[in-house]
Amino acid sequence: MTIIEAEIKDVKHYKATFAPKELPKFQLEDILSGIALKQSSFLLELHSNTYAISRWTGPKRTRTWPYQHVYDIINRKPRVAIIPYYKDEGKDGNGDYLQWDTISLMSLLGVYVIFGYYVKARKNERYPDRNKITGHEFDPVYIAKRLEELAYYHSDPIHWNMKEINDYLLEVIEKAIEGHRAIAAATGVRLHSENGLQRRKNNIANFQTQSRALALLAQNREALTRQRRERTGEGLKGRINITNFYKGAYYLTVDEAVKLGEDVFLIEKKHGDGFMPSISDIKDGLLKLILFTNLASIKIEGRTYKHHTVLGLTSDRVKGYCHSKQTPTKVLEFLSAIGLPKDTTSLLDLFTEANANGFAVYLVNADEEINLREKILREFIS
């Protein structure tokens, strides 16, 4: 297991090519009615300002893949993420809690966080014989109230998010407990015990410490896990511990960390069944790359390396490889040889985004990658 120690000073401006140019626009009354909160990302016009909002469907990144929706608002300011503190999918489903590192990550990306809690859900009819619920709904009155407060707030996301923890987390946990009971009564579905919520309520002062301990465990699990969306080669998953100028710590993983002499390549991987992975999967990977491209330095076993950030795309439908550092003519030759797939424009746009933001992308046949990867990576530094 490769353990990487990294520092980050700031996240510079990032131009997201795949972020939608238009998002649905709503007013505060659309929050209160719940209409706006059915959208994953949208704009809210409030008191002469426009907020870009990402609405998460769960607090855990690897369960509901919310990063793609944060990516969709990354070109806009101010940015807001509405995140449930707790999501219970029923006794036979998952029960997930919001962790400190998620809030820290949003702070680093310049995103204001508002904690939410669920007050409604319905039995999941896809599993009639199991204790599972779906269709979770936030308390819209509470969300509207917090957005109103944000409209009159004049400091940065880091300070807002710390205030959110210090001033509002206890209230949100108490409301989450009430909502948990109400949902159980209304659906007749057995949920997870509320003891976990009660313990967190009683130990709220230790939220940061407990969350970081859980984040380290989660980091270790993720470092040992291969997702269906990732087709990794022989390179080791890396644990990357990032420290910022506020001494905040972020415990992440990188799908592959490859050393070539004095250079280290941090490679996020996405695999697709078609010509290339889906844009949603790519967006999920790109949000993490925003951090990796802004790392000031990295060390492995105390030794400093020059680092490169890479998005590695694999597919069973292509032969050979192409990458963002090649000339347009070379890339078009590759694409022409495989019949100019319909996603050609998306790939070219992705290469443009990579070159504009200081990282590299390659697309390679999944079975050929092991033999071709070092050749590709050396072309990035040649």
Report residue 228's pLDDT band, with 50, 70 and 90 as the boundaries: very low
Note the pLDDT of residue 58: 96
Distance CA 152, CA 195 (A): 36
Are the beta carbons of 66 and 57 closer than 8 angstroms?
A: yes
Place of tokens 């509320």: 194
Average pLDDT for 284-289: 92
Evaluate if residue 234 carries a pLDDT over 70: no
**What confidence score (pLDDT) does residue 224 get?**
52
Q: Which of 279, 51, 240 is nearest to 157 (CA)?
A: 51
Average the pLDDT over 137-144 and give the result. Answer: 98
pTM, 2 dp: 0.88
Length of the chain: 382
Burial 328-342 (b: 16+ CB within 10 A, else e): eeebeebbeeeeebe
Q: Residue 248 has what pLDDT?
A: 64
Model confidence at 129, pLDDT cuts 50, 70, 90, reads very high
pLDDT surpasses 50 at 303:
yes
Q: What is the pLDDT of residue 261?
A: 93
If phi over 0 gives left and psi between -120 and 50 gives alpha, with beta otherwise, what is residue 340? left
Please state, in angstroms and rounded to a whole number, the distance separating the CA atoms of residues 219 and 316: 29
Q: What's the pLDDT at 304? A: 95
For the chain, the average pLDDT equals 90
